[in-house]
């Protein structure tokens, strides 16, 4: 099956775009595998009430959202987009396996907090890295590929 734009358009995208897209895809897959089961684990294994499950997720997602603002500024000031993105992906990758040893809702909160700190730190620098890697005419293609991945 061939897309309407032809294979040449895709081949012209820089390696950065493909690496960032692949990394993002694999990180998202691992997150979804864990996060879909987390509320069941909290409620059925740890006996946590649904309100506390919501609080844990609220803290985690709020952390990511607030850090996106900060990391975007850091990325612009430091000019270290790749370093911040790698640090964010690394923190998320290190946090998820820690769920294996969690025995309380506080432990789940700490791991989710660490995972979302990673997401917050990586998102803005990653998007800026994608924009910096392609010409303005290719940005739509690069972001489209990334969001589809």
Report pLDDT digits (tens) over 80-90. Answer: 899 999 999 99
Structure confidence by residue, pLDDT tens digits, 65-101: 999 999 999 999 998 899 999 999 999 999 999 999 9
Confidence label for 7 from pLDDT (cuts 50, 70 and 90): low
Q: Residue 149 above 80 pLDDT? A: no
Does residue 39 have a pLDDT over 90?
Answer: yes
- State the angle between helix axes of 81-95 and 15-35 in degrees (0 to 180), rounded to the nearest 10: 20
* CB-based contacts of 134-143 (< 8 A; 24+ apart in sequence): 134/13, 134/14, 134/17, 138/12, 138/13, 141/9, 141/13, 142/13, 142/17
Q: How confident is the model at residue 130 (pLDDT cuts 50, 70, 90)?
A: very high
Lookup: tokens for 108:
């789940």
More reliable by pLDDT, 10 or 72: 72
**Residue 138, both tokens:** 């290719």
């Amino acid at each position: 099956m061939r897309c309407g734009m032809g294979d040449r358009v895709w081949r012209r995208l820089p390696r950065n775009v493909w690496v960032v897209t692949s990394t993002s895809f694999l990180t998202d897959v691992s997150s979804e595998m864990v996060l879909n089961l987390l509320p069941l684990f909290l409620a059925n294994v740890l006996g946590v009430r649904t309100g506390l499950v919501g609080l844990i997720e609220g803290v985690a997602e709020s952390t990511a959202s607030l850090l996106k603002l900060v990391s975007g500024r850091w990325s612009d000031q430091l000019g270290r987009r790749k370093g911040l993105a790698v640090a964010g992906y690394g923190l998320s990758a290190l946090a998820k396996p820690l769920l294996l040893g969690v025995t309380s809702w506080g432990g789940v909160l700490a791991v989710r907090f660490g995972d979302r700190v990673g997401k917050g730190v990586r998102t803005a620098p990653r998007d800026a890295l994608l924009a910096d890697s392609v010409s303005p005419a290719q940005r739509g293609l690069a972001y489209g590929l990334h969001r589809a991945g």
